[in-house]
């Protein structure tokens, strides 16, 4: 089946790029962020999952020396910033998101000296290092928690404690609040004879943000790492910082009756509480003070919040930009709104929803995956890997890449017995649906045993797919590979960064199966056409009399960079970036 499309919009858009048309029913054109080009505004933030990136000492666990060994990979890829999932002291109940000492490195990953070494090398290579800041909860092994349990002076209210209720002579939790990791969010502590609140695992007690001492202690953690020399923070689980001080029961969502099902409760008392945003603005002040006092490059903050779009935007700051929050809050639109059988409409809507909601002065960002979600190649199809990397590369602002996306890595194979995800291993019967271990298996460096990740026994099994999908095979000049496409995209972004800081964006459904994303500034025009369907599609530009030069193509494409085209035949799942001339 072939369909013929006449693209007239591109010409009109190119001609009118300076005059901004907003909220058009068919497509969106919008002024991008402020024209200044601070380093982070057009950066690619590459997420390293340290435990699975590279193991230097053969214990089967990735570590800081491993990252040091492989830092040139980021440079080779063209990436200039990386955020590391937690490397701090931790019993590893939630793979490092349960921190027992915010100021030290877990021996699994190395030492403070290793981190120093990494920062120095990164600086020499021009790569920014961002750490994961986990403010909502600590490990139950943290000394603050131990002291709080013992009601030591100054620590009594560091966590969220409650006597609970007595029902029919039995003590029960104070309310119906549920943990993200299933079951009641309250755990009784024998020593203190009270319940403590934990949004996540039992071993992850929530800090009490209505206690100014907690706030100060956490700001000190930020200052400690800023002084250490890091370039910023990814801030974990921010919607959960505050809980309702009256501990009221959460209401059931309409039509739902199961109070033991987290999805049945409306989380008005445990999530997105109004003081949350002010807390983020306060954290931002700590960063800005450091940047100003020390006259250094901007230290950035990116927040992790799965929330309604209007709430997400509040993390950026207030609408007129006078109060600042996160430099950006992760845009999870391509994760939350696209499923296996996504359509062109879904992509266009995800883009438009974000762009319509983000105030003009803030910087957009685009995320395809992370350590909490199935890998994009598995979720949205490995044949679409290049198309999605192109989408996030061409869209305005920051691009976020989860390690492995540059080579099109799919999820690994893990059994419940081999898995570690605390919420999933509780119940093996649902492990396949709930576990996050699949997207956390070791990186595929090459096709030697254990994919070059470790000489020991990997903490999670290395995927059998490493034989066919690995960096060494893909990183060969002239070879058609996801990695070479990714490198070209990084080059493309670098070359047109300035242009992109000023331009306008459109997202259009060309046909049921072809999405077009355009970027326009003055006479420059770049478009991505991405065929998400299983049939050939023809895109022609006769009516606009516009000709295009091919800039980047997907692995299955027959076009080559530099080709001139005024018509394209897109193969199934082919994607091409073009420059108008
Ligand atoms: C979000 C992190 O990304 C996830 O891995 C973790 O389990 C929770 N926050 C709790 O810290
Ligand atoms: Mg909390």
How would DSSP label each residue in 353-376? HHHHHS-TTSPPEEE---TTS--H
Strands 232-235, 128-133: pairing is parallel
Identify the CA nearest to 242 among candidates 297, 282, 296: 282
Q: Is the CB of 541 under 6 A from ligand 1?
A: no
- Asked if 291 and 327 touch (Cβ cutoff 8 Å), the reply is no
Name the strands in the sheet holding 365-367, side by side, starting at the edge strand that comes first in the sequence: 328-329, 300-303, 232-235, 128-133, 81-84, 44-48, 398-402, 365-367
Evaluate the CA torsion angle 98, 217, 146, 109 in order and state its sign: positive
Say how many Å lie between the CA of residue 245 and the centre of ligand 2. 11
Q: How confident is the model at residue 22 (pLDDT cuts 50, 70, 90)?
A: very low
∠ CA 266-269-273, rounded to 5°: 110
**Atom of ligand 1 at shortest range from CA of 201:** 10
Averaged pLDDT for residues 552-568: 96
Pocket test for ligand 1, best of 372, 373, 438 (most atoms within 8 A of CB): 372
Q: What is the pLDDT of residue 498?
A: 61
CA 486 from centroid of its chain's CA atoms? 18
| Beta carbon of 410 within 6 Å of any ligand 1 atom | no
Please identify every residue annotated as catalytic: 236, 304
Q: What is the Cα gyration radius of the chain? A: 24
**Chain segment 249-301, per-residue pLDDT in tens:** 999 999 999 999 999 999 999 999 999 999 999 999 999 999 999 999 999 99
Q: Hey, is 349 helix, strand or coil? A: helix
Q: Cβ(237) to ligand 1 under 6 A? A: yes
Give the mutation target among 52, 84, 97 for probing the ligand 1 site: most ligand atoms within 8 A of CB.
Answer: 97
Q: Give the pLDDT band (50/70/90) at residue 540.
A: confident
Q: What is the 8-class DSSP label of residue 302?
A: E
Say yes or no: CB of residue 81 within 6 Å of ligand 1: no
- Please give the Cα distance from 373 to 145 (Å, whole number): 30
How many residues make up the chain in this entry? 581
Band of residue 501 on the pLDDT scale cut at 50, 70, 90: low
Residue 546 CB neighbours (<10 A): 18
344: Cβ contacts below 8 Å, ≥ 6 apart? 509, 510, 511, 512, 513, 514, 515, 532
Residue 445 has pLDDT above 90, yes or no: yes
Closest ligand to Cα 440: 1
pLDDT computed for residue 533 by the predictor: 98
Taking the C-alpha atoms of residue 455 and residue 453, their distance in angstroms, rounded to an integer, is 7
Q: Partners of 89 in the beta sheet?
A: 101
pLDDT band at 520 (very low <50, low <70, confident <90, very high): confident
pLDDT band at 521 (very low <50, low <70, confident <90, very high): confident
Q: Give Cβ neighbours of residue 156 (< 8 Å, ≥ 6 apart).
A: 148
Residue 496 confidence (pLDDT) = 77
Q: Is there an atom of ligand 1 within 6 Å of 180 CB?
A: no
514 forms beta bridges with: 531
Distance 134 CA to ligand 1 centre (A): 9
Give the pLDDT score at 93: 98
Q: Taking Cα atoms as reference points, which of 23, 79, 109 lies closest to residue 490?
A: 79
**Which residues, including other chains, have CB under 8 Å from residue 573's CB and lie 6 or more apart?**
381, 383, 384, 387, 531, 532, 533, 534, 554, 556
**Rounded distance from Cα 244 to ligand 2 centre (Å):** 10
Cβ–ligand 1 contact at 372 (below 6 Å): yes
Mean pLDDT of 475-490: 97
| Backbone dihedral angles phi then psi of residue 483, each to the nearest 5 degrees | -65, -45
Contact 516, 510 (CB under 8 A): yes
Is there a contact between 180 and 423 (Cβ–Cβ < 8 Å)? yes
pLDDT of 3? 38
- What is the reported pLDDT for 503? 61
Average pLDDT, the chain: 92
User: H helices then E strands: how many in the chain?
Assistant: 15, 24
Ligand nearest to the CA of 218: 2
Kindly report, residue by residue over 48-104, the tens digit of the pLDDT: 999 999 999 999 999 999 999 999 999 999 999 999 999 999 999 999 999 999 999
How far, in Å, CA of 401 to CA of 383, rounded?
A: 18
Ligand 1 center from residue 98 Cα (angstroms)? 9
Quote the pLDDT of residue 16. Answer: 32
Tell me the CA distances in angstroms from 175 to 184, 204, 271, 290, one per residue in order.
9, 19, 15, 41
For residue 102, the CA-to-ligand 1 centroid distance in Å is 16
Among residues 130, 83, 87, the alpha carbon closest in space to that of 112 is found at 87
| CA 304–ligand 1 middle distance (angstroms) | 9
Which ligand 1 atom sits nearest the alpha carbon of residue 85?
3
pLDDT digits (tens, 9 = 90+) for 342-394: 999 999 999 999 999 998 889 999 999 999 999 999 999 999 999 999 999 99
- Domains of the chain (ranges, CATH numbers): 135-295 (3.90.400.10)
* pLDDT score at 318: 82
3-state SS assignment for residue 524: strand
Neighbouring C-beta atoms of residue 285, cutoff 10 Å: 14
Half-sphere CA count of 245, side-chain side, radius 13 A:
7
Residue closest via CA to ligand 1's atom 2 equals: 236
């Amino acid at each position: 089946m072939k369909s013929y499309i006449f693209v007239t919009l591109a010409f009109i858009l190119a001609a009118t790029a300076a005059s901004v048309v907003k909220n058009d029913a068919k497509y969106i054109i919008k002024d991008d962020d402020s024209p200044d080009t601070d380093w982070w505004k057009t950066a690619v933030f590459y997420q390293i999952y340290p435990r699975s990136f590279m193991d230097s000492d053969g214990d089967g666990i990735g570590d800081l020396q491993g990252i040091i060994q492989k830092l040139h990979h980021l440079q080779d890829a063209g990436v200039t910033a990386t955020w590391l999932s937690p490397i701090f002291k931790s019993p590893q109940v939630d793979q490092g998101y349960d921190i027992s000492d915010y100021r030290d490195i877990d021996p699994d990953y190395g030492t403070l000296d290793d981190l120093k070494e990494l920062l120095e090398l990164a600086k020499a290579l021009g790569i920014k290092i961002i750490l994961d800041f986990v403010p909502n909860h600590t490990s139950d092994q943290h000394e603050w928690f131990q002291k709080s349990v013992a009601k030591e002076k100054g620590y009594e209210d560091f966590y969220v404690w409650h006597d609970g209720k007595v029902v029919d002579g039995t003590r029960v939790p104070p309310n119906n609040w549920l943990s993200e990791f299933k079951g009641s969010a309250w755990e009784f502590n024998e020593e203190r004879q009270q319940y403590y609140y934990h949004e996540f695992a039992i071993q992850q007690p929530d800090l009490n943000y209505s206690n100014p001492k907690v706030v100060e202690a956490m700001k000190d953690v930020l200052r400690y790492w800023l002084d250490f020399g890091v370039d910023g923070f990814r801030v974990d689980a921010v919607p959960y910082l505050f809980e309702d001080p009256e501990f009221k029961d959460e209401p059931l969502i309409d039509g739902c009756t199961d109070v033991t099902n987290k999805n049945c409760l409306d989380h008005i008392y445990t999530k997105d509480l109004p003081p949350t945003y002010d807390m983020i603005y306060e954290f931002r002040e700590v960063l800005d003070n450091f940047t100003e006092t020390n006259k250094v490059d901007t230290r950035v903050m990116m927040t992790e919040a799965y929330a309604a779009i209007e709430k997400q935007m509040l993390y950026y700051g207030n609408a007129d930009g006078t109060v600042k929050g996160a430099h950006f809050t992760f845009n999870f639109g391509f994760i939350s709104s696209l499923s296996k059988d996504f359509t062109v409409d879904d992509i266009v809507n995800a883009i438009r929803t974000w762009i319509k909601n983000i105030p003009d002065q803030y910087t957009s960002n685009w995320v395809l995956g992370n350590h909490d979600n199935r890998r994009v190649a598995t979720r949205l199809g490995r044949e679409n890997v290049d198309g999605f990397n192109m989408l996030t590369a061409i869209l305005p602002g920051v691009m976020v890449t989860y390690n492995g996306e540059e080579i099109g890595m799919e999820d690994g194979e893990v059994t419940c017995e081999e898995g570690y995800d605390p919420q999933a291993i509780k119940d093996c019967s649902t492990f396949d649906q709930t576990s996050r271990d699949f997207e956390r298996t070791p990186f595929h460096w090459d096709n030697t045993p254990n994919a070059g990740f470790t000489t020991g026994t990997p903490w999670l099994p290395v995927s059998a797919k490493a034989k066919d999908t690995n960096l060494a095979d893909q990183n060969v000049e002239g070879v058609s590979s996801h990695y070479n496409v990714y490198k070209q995209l990084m080059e493309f972004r670098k070359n047109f960064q300035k242009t992109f800081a000023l331009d306008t964006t459109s997202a259009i459904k060309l046909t049921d199966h072809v999405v077009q994303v355009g970027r326009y500034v003055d006479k420059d025009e770049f478009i991505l056409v991405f065929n998400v369907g299983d049939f050939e599609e023809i895109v022609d530009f006769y009516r606009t009399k516009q000709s295009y030069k091919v800039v980047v193509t997907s692995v299955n494409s027959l076009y080559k960079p530099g080709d001139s085209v005024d018509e394209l035949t897109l193969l199934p799942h082919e994607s091409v970036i073009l420059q108008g001339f």
